[in-house]
Amino acid sequence: MSTAKELVGYLPVGFPDLPQSVDAALALLDNGVTAIELGVPYSDPVMDGPVIQEAANAALEAGFRLPDVFRAVEGIRQRSDAPVYVMTYWNPVLQYGVDRFADDFAAAGGTGLITPDITPDAAADWIAASDRTGLDRVFLAAPTSTDERLRMIAEASRGWVYAVSTMGVTGAREDVDSKARALVPRIRAAGAERVYVGIGISTAAQVAEVWDYADGAIVGSAIVRAIQQDGAAGAARIAAALSAG
């Protein structure tokens, strides 16, 4: 397994529209981001901060539908071999059909799902579908997770584990919570081979700090804000700045 440090860039599918979200993802990949995390716009988000909520609402108002996820993945895959993950709340997958979603996502070239609101002990259908299709499973671990829960997460995840840097919703923060530095070794001790840290990371210095102790850094709100301001050009600029760390 690769030991390279990863920089994952998050953006909502369909923001500001579907073609522009694909262009922004490719601009990120062309300027130092190593993997894409596509967010599925959802009307009742649990952990999205105001910047991402605003962008997701704009995508919904512009007519986003779940099959747009697969079109976006295909559009990125046509021009890049970088991993493309999708972060989605579980209800849209249930409504679409777990096996159908897995099949369509795999056929589009997707790498795996990040599922913030479903735990491994409630994910039997997804675990079976992802085993069948070879998709990665990324579950979230929080500073409040018990060692027993971390072992369950590490065992069920495939690809990497998402370490939530701080409790609360997404959004750029001046300081990435020091709890992340304590959480990552706990996740590794529970059996995870790779751990990425997300929530609150917005600068090159913070990316470099996370790379000191984790395998990847995930940046969301800062990228979405740059896309709000200047589309794909904004994505290119912030990716170059972040990767400079």
Q: Provide the pLDDT for residue 139.
A: 98
Angle of the 147-156 helix axis to the 179-189 helix axis, nearest 10: 60
Residues recognised as catalytic: 37, 48
- Map out the domains of the chain with their CATH numbers: 6-243 (3.20.20.70)
Residue 59's pLDDT band (boundaries 50, 70, 90)? Answer: confident
Handedness of CA 35, 27, 212, 204 (dihedral sign): negative
Instruction: Give percent of the chain above pLDDT 90.
Output: 80
Q: What is the pLDDT of residues 192-216, one digit of tens each?
A: 999 999 988 999 999 999 999 999 9
What pLDDT, on a 0 to 100 scale, did the predictor assign at position 3?
Answer: 66
Compute CA distances 112 → 44, 73, 83, 133, whole Å: 22, 11, 8, 10
Which of 16-20, 39-43, 98-102, 175-179 has the largest mean confidence? 98-102
pTM: 0.92
